Amino acid sequence: MRILVIGSGGREHALIWKLKQSPKVDTIYCAPGNAGIAADAKCVAIEVDELEKLADFAQANQIDLTVVGPEAPLCDGIVDQFRTRKLAIFGPAKVAAQLEGSKDFAKEFMLKYHIPTAKSATFKNEKDASEYVKNEFLLGVKGIVIKADGLAAGKGVLVADGEAEALAFLHDCFDGAFGAAGAKVLVEECLYGEEASILALCDGKTIVPLVSSQDHKRVGDNDTGLNTGGMGAYSPAPVVDQQVWQKINERILQPFLHGVRAEKLDFRGVIFVGIMICDTEPKVLEFNVRFGDPEIQPVLRRFDGDLCDVLSKVAQGNLSEAKLIWSDDPAVSVVIASGGYPGKYQKGFEIKGLADAAATGAVVFHAGTALKDGKIVNSGGRVLGVSARGKNIAEAIAKAYEAVDKISFEGGFCRRDIGAKALKYNK
Ligand code: AMP
Ligand code: GLY
């Protein structure tokens, strides 16, 4: 088979690394890819928002399956375009992608299908939203969450501890800080507990969860500092024990599938459910309609099946025939970021030690890397995802950091506590 993967991050590199192991796969293209992906796939200079060009490429190159990484092209309707041309593609159609593209749409869906989630209200003007926020604090809440309705590259959510902070963010939203994405705003009850990420394949008829994982969203050790796209992840997330899994399946995944069928949504892709586990009660924080990054990195390190076969079956609507094979061994992925991330950072520094890191047995996924004068340099905020699998979580963590410590570039840094939360469950 000839495969096209769309995107340029660690997620896409991990997908390509696993797809390449499938005996079914002949050639993999990636648009646009990065310096590390270029070693595993043929990179094509088409950006993820050039939908027409991507479809032309798939048609001209007889691509048998296209796998979409990021949310933006899904929300822009890439799946609809490809299907009109009878091109096989993994991902939800535009209407279904609103589950990520509009937080209001997602909330309505959750309410309609009785999926547990935080209480919230939606506003189209600052005055009403501000009054609601003030009233919530009068009623004694300790915090509140403000969410721009649309896609805002991960910056449209604020978990506010105080009223002033919440009101200032509301003002920014309605003042155009997120463009059209902030014209509607959700004000949400703040949930407290431990977060986990559940990714589940869905073809509209069947839903099959992948193994659980947990991200580390804050930039600093012990979950301090600013929010990021994710500084590292591990799988499984021990907070999701058998009892919690059962609740997630019965109260979230099955109602989700029921809703997809009832609304006749064309959903042949992956649903990524961000969950807060509040005293063993799982509640949905958000839906995403793509694989989580970095979550998919440790998840795929544990996947021992044929990814090409599985994703093809999802795209065809035959998920019930797919075989998912998992290792019990935990896996960890540690992100190395550019100095200054998630704020401003400098690019173009040579990355040293990549071969030494790979020699330890770890797999290094590239995110923000580029080739400059024959050298691999940093070119984005999150630069690499260094992943390892072990007999237990402690071994996986040790192996990942052994490889991390071989790698260096000016300003590059990582969190030193990826996976530490899982250790406490193993005592
Ligand atoms: P979202 O884009 O909705 O996932 O929000 C990004 C992050 O904000 C989540 O991963 C959580 O860490 C946090 N968050 C979102 N909603 C809530 C909530 N209702 N209560 C507490 N934290 C939240
Ligand atoms: N790691 C969180 C995300 O992919 O949105």
Measured from the alpha carbon of residue 213, the closest ligand is 2
Maximum Cα–Cα distance for the chain, whole Å? 62
Predicted local confidence at residue 180, as pLDDT: 86
Ligand 2 nearest-atom number relative to CA 293: 4
Predicted local confidence at residue 3, as pLDDT: 98
Distance separating the N- and C-terminal Cα atoms of the chain: 46
Predicted local confidence at residue 426, as pLDDT: 66
Instruction: Give the pLDDT band (50/70/90) at residue 39.
Output: very high
Mean confidence (pLDDT) of the chain: 96
- All domains of the chain, ordered by start, with CATH? 2-92 (3.40.50.20), 125-183 (3.30.1490)
pLDDT tens for each residue of 101-119: 999 999 999 999 999 999 9
Measured from the alpha carbon of residue 194, the closest ligand is 1
Q: Probe ligand 1: pick from 146, 228, 276, 281, max atoms within 8 Å of CB?
A: 276
Average pLDDT over residues 270-296: 97
H helical segments located in 93-178: 94-101, 103-112, 126-138, 163-174
- CA distances 44 to 58, 80, 119, 306, 382, Å, are 11, 22, 44, 25, 21
188 within ligand 1 shell (Cβ under 6 A): yes
pTM of the model: 0.96
Distance 272 CA to ligand 2 centre (A): 9
pLDDT tens for each residue of 343-391: 999 999 999 999 999 999 999 999 999 999 999 999 999 999 999 999 9
Measured from the alpha carbon of residue 192, the closest ligand is 1
Distance 140 CA to ligand 2 centre (A): 31
Instruction: Give the pLDDT band (50/70/90) at residue 153.
Output: confident
Distance 105 CA to ligand 1 centre (A): 16
Predicted local confidence at residue 84, as pLDDT: 97
Average pLDDT over residues 120-138: 94
Quickly list DSSP for 352-384: B-HHHHHHTT-EEEESSEEEETTEEEE-SSEEE
d(CA 47, CA 19): 21
pLDDT tens for each residue of 317-353: 999 999 999 999 999 999 999 999 999 999 999 999 9
Distance 249 CA to ligand 1 centre (A): 21
286 within ligand 1 shell (Cβ under 6 A): yes
Average pLDDT over residues 248-271: 98
Ligand 2 nearest-atom number relative to CA 230: 1
Average pLDDT over residues 110-134: 96
Count the neighbouring beta carbons within 10 Å of the beta carbon of residue 264: 10
Give residue 171's Cα distance to chain centre: 28
Distance 111 CA to ligand 2 centre (A): 23
- CA distances 96 to 139, 203, 251, Å, are 36, 12, 20
Q: Is there a contact between 12 and 31 (Cβ–Cβ < 8 Å)?
A: no
Predicted local confidence at residue 179, as pLDDT: 84
152 within ligand 1 shell (Cβ under 6 A): no
292 within ligand 2 shell (Cβ under 6 A): yes
Please check the confidence at residue 427 and state whether its pLDDT lies above 70.
no
121 within ligand 1 shell (Cβ under 6 A): no
293 within ligand 2 shell (Cβ under 6 A): yes
Predicted local confidence at residue 66, as pLDDT: 98
Please check the confidence at residue 139 and state whether its pLDDT lies above 60.
yes
Please check the confidence at residue 177 and state whether its pLDDT lies above 70.
yes
333 within ligand 2 shell (Cβ under 6 A): no
Question: Among residues 391, 418, 390, which one has the least CA distance to residue 404?
Answer: 418
Question: Among residues 352, 365, 343, which one has the least CA distance to residue 410?
Answer: 352
Average pLDDT over residues 201-208: 98
297 within ligand 2 shell (Cβ under 6 A): no
- CA distances 411 to 335, 346, 378, Å, are 14, 8, 10
Measured from the alpha carbon of residue 276, the closest ligand is 1
Measured from the alpha carbon of residue 195, the closest ligand is 1
Distance 170 CA to ligand 1 centre (A): 16
